[in-house]
Each structure stands twice: as C-alpha cells, then as structure tokens.
Amino acid sequence: MRKLKRQLCAGPYIVWIIGFTVLPILMILYYAFTTPEHRFTLENVLSIAEPIHLKALLLSVRLALECTVLCLLLSYPLAMILNGLKIKRQSFIVFIFVLPMWMNFMLRILAWQMLLSNNGIINSILQALGFSGVSILNTPAAVVFGMVYDFLPFMILPIYNSLVRIRSDVIEAAKDLGASNMIVFFRIIVPLTMSGVISGVIMVFVPALTSFVISDLLGGGKVLLIGNVIEQSFMQGMNWNLGSGLSIVLMVFVIASMAFMNSHTKETEGTAVW
C-alpha cells in the first residue's frame, strides 16, 4: 500500500518526463532517420558533412569556446575576490550577479541590441567624449559578447561554491609547511576547485554551442550558427527531417563534450551539477 502511494507520487514526474523529454526525442529520432515520404534514410544526419553545415558547426564551436574561455577568465578572479570578502558582503555581491537573471533573457539581449546599435547609447556616449563610435553590432564579436553576458553567472556560481568549500586550515597548513602563494594557488586551490570549473564550463559551453537567438539578434542575421541552420530548416525551409537530423548530430556533440569533461572530474568529489 505504502509502496503504491510512493509510486503514485512519482506519477506527475513520469508524465512530465515522458511527455516533454522522451516523446519529443523519439519524434526527433523518427524525423531524423526518415525522408518526407517516411522512408529510412541516413541523409539528414550525414548532411552535417556538407560544407555549409560543417562551417556553421565549426563557427558555433569556435564562438562557444571563445565565450567559455572569456567567462572562465572573468569568473575565476571574481570568485576569488568574492571568497576573500566578509560573509555578509559575499552574499550581497552574489545577489547582484544573479539579479539580472530575474529578467527575461530575450529582453536583456534586445536591450543590448539597442545599446550597441549605430546610434545607440554607447556610441552616443563615446562620440560625446570625442571618440569615434564602435560598430560591433551584427558581428561575431557581438554574439560572443552577448553569450558572455548571458552565461557569466553560470560560471561564477559553481566556481564560487567550490572555493567556499575549501577549508582555510588546508591553506594554512600549506603555508606553515613553507609553500609560497603561487604554489598554494596552483597546487591547492586550482585542483580543489576543478569540479566547479568543469561544471561551469559545461553550463556555459553547452548553451553557447546550441544558441540561436543571440546570434539572430546580435548577429543581425549575418552570423549563421548550427542552431540557426536547425531553426531555419524548421521555420523557413519546412524541412523537419533535415532539422531533426542536424539536431541529433548536435545532441551527440553535446553529450560527447559533457562525457569528456566529466571523465576528468571523477576523482574529485565536488559540486559538479552534471
């Protein structure tokens, strides 16, 4: 009786998972391996090798890597600084960084579109100060900028969490034994925060790799990422089979990169989200 009750409690989740995860994936798989005439084909999946699609995929990987590296370079020192502050201030500053996430991300990207435009606020200020304006909007750089802006909290929080967990006596012990600050950083702090770094990297790299809205809005339709190719084959080309085929390839790509990074965290018990 009790067991049944417990199983019933799981009911909503099972319905949720089947309805919104399993069924859609099965549909994608079906579309990916069939032609519009419902015959089996590998063409949709193999079309990733076409120069246009390959180019879009490589550009996505490149921009996602750039975004991840930038996020990491910005987040790690920030997390260190945060960790050095008094507890009360820490939570306040973390709050400040999380605050933008309360707003809809589309609105924030649209705001950047206006800020960065030719006659936008940033250029007006630059010109008022006597500088020449920048025309960064509608370039790959703007797309990377938007991604970094959007995904930065996902990098800061796991790194910060892993830093907080390092007990101060570990560092004191190292210093007692004569380790310099450099050695403490590279031999103690970095290895102990690796799990946080890796979950941060995954949480930034994966959405950056698959994003298409940011590249549409800040790339002005000129930056074609693999996400845009997929979106276009659904919305404009009305070719669901091709879109699904490419989605499968992208999913495999995402899973592979996650597996690769996870394989490096097994030893350290940590804050990995995945």
Partner 1 sequence: MKRKILSAFAAAFLLGALTGCSGGSDNSLVVLNYGKYLDPEMLELFEEETGIHVEYEEYESPEEMYTKYKAGSIDYDLACTSDYMVQKLIGEGEVLEMNYDNIPGIKNLDQTYFEFSKAFDPENKYSMPYFFGTVGILYNTKMVDAFEVNTWDVLWDENYSGQIIMENSVRDSFMVPLKKLGYSLNTTDENELQKALDLLIDQKPLVYAYLVDESSDEMVAGNAAMALVYSGEAAAAKIYNKDLDYVVPMEGSNMWIDSWFLPKTCKHAQNAEKFLDFLCRKDVAMKNFEYVYYATPNLEVYKALDKEVQNDPTIFPPHEVLEDCEVLSSLDDDSTKLYNDLWKKLKSN
Q: Please report how close the Cβ of residue 3 comes to partner 1 at its closest, in angstroms.
A: 45
Between the CA of residue 199 and those of 140, 166, 193, 268, what are the distances in Å?
A: 25, 17, 10, 12
Q: What is the Cα–Cα distance from 12 to 9, expressed in whole angstroms?
A: 7
Q: Locate all alpha helices (DSSP H) within 18-50, ordered by sequence.
A: 23-32, 43-46
Residue 120 tokens read as 């936008």
Q: What is the Cα–Cα distance from 23 to 222, expressed in whole angstroms?
A: 34
Q: Please report how close the Cβ of residue 103 comes to partner 1 at its closest, in angstroms.
A: 20
Residues within window 222-261 making contact with partner 1, judged by CB under 8 A: 222, 224, 228-229, 232-233, 236-239
Residue 48 touches partner 1, criterion: CB under 8 A: no
Residues within window 138-197 making contact with partner 1, judged by CB under 8 A: 138
DSSP 166: S
Q: What is the Cα–Cα distance from 34 to 101, expressed in whole angstroms?
A: 40
Q: Please report how close the Cβ of residue 223 comes to partner 1 at its closest, in angstroms.
A: 8
Contact residue for partner 1 among 6, 39, 119, 263 (CB under 8 A): 119
Q: Please report how close the Cβ of residue 227 comes to partner 1 at its closest, in angstroms.
A: 12
What is the binding site for partner 1 (CB under 8 A)? 52, 55-56, 117-120, 135, 137-138, 220-222, 224, 228-229, 232-233, 236-239
